Amino acid sequence: MERERKISELCKGHFNKVVETVSEMRKNIHAVCGTDRKKAAESFKKVFEKEREADEIKRKIVEELSKGLIHPINREEVIRLVLTADDIATNAKAAVRRLKLISRAKISSELKTGLKEISDFLLQISELTRSAYFALLHNPHGAIELANEVERIEEKIDDFRIDEILPNMVSWSDKSSPGDAMMIKDAIDNMEKIADRCEDVVDVIRGIILSQI
């Protein structure tokens, strides 16, 4: 029981670091699409710091799980949750890394607006996903409701990407270098994957809850 409690606390800490990574990504995107160069540099650095901290906690979780002192099924579920959540932070880091390779002056105002808006959505969905995980143990019904909300936000993000981001990206890419066009596309793909991984996390949460009924 003590080891399970320790693993649970580590998982909560890991999820907090994942959300902090996304939060810093959002700050970076707003700064990059604005005029605050200092904030852009600071938030870029913090994205990497938070992602690294999440990765360190992930390794501690895997180390604890490798001792085999909790039920094997529970161990497998925890690993799936942690690795999927960790991908959220990984993609947040990849997105800011790619955006840094493009001069902010080259990005169109329409595309900047879209990038800022989608980063807002991504922080929202990441926070909801964390709430669903935190509710898993003490409020399964609430966790299911939050999982459903995550799914709705993911669909909203997907619609926004297709209807708003992609047309502006295509228009901008036609006037840009192939290298810049590739970087912006890859950054947007990374942002899309953040939402996808959030949906994957709540799918695992649903599966855990349904398996216990």
- Domain of residue 202, CATH code: 1.20.58.220
Give the pLDDT score at 69. Answer: 59
Q: Which two tokens stand for residue 168?
A: 């502006």
- Average pLDDT, whole number, for the chain? 93
pLDDT-derived band at 78, boundaries 50, 70, 90: confident
Q: What is the pLDDT of residues 138-147, one digit of tens each?
A: 899 999 999 9
Distance CA 30, CA 119 (A): 8
What is the structure's pLDDT at 2? 74
Give the lowest-confidence range in 4-13, 119-128, 157-166. 4-13
pLDDT band, residue 65 (cuts 50/70/90): confident
For residues 44 and 101, is the Cβ–Cβ distance under 8 A? no
DSSP one-letter string for 41-68: HHHHHHHHHHHHHHHHHHHHHHHHHHT-
Torsional class of 176: left (φ above 0), alpha (ψ -120 to 50), beta (otherwise): beta
pLDDT value at residue 106: 86
Quick one: what percent of the chain has pLDDT higher than 90? 78
Between 76 and 98, the more confident residue is 98
Average pLDDT score over residue span 50-63 = 96
- Residue 132: pLDDT above 80? yes
Q: For residue 204, give the DSSP letter.
A: H
> What is the pLDDT confidence band of residue 120, given thresholds at 50, 70 and 90?
very high
Residues 92/31, Cβ–Cβ less than 8 Å: no
d(CA 46, CA 41): 9
Among 94, 109, 96, 115, residue whose Cα is nearest residue 41:
96
Number of folded domains that form the chain: 1
Q: Which domain holds residue 172?
A: 2-211
Buried residues in 154-166 as b, exposed as e (16+ CB within 10 A): beebeebbeebbe
The whole-number pLDDT of residue 72 equals 53
pLDDT above 90 for 109: yes
**Per-residue pLDDT band at 104 (split at 50, 70, 90):** confident
pTM, rounded to two decimals: 0.94
Give the pLDDT of residue 71. 61
Cβ-Cβ contacts under 8 Å for 116 (sequence gap 6 or more)? 29, 30, 33
Ramachandran area for residue 71 (φ above 0: left; ψ -120 to 50: alpha; else beta) = beta
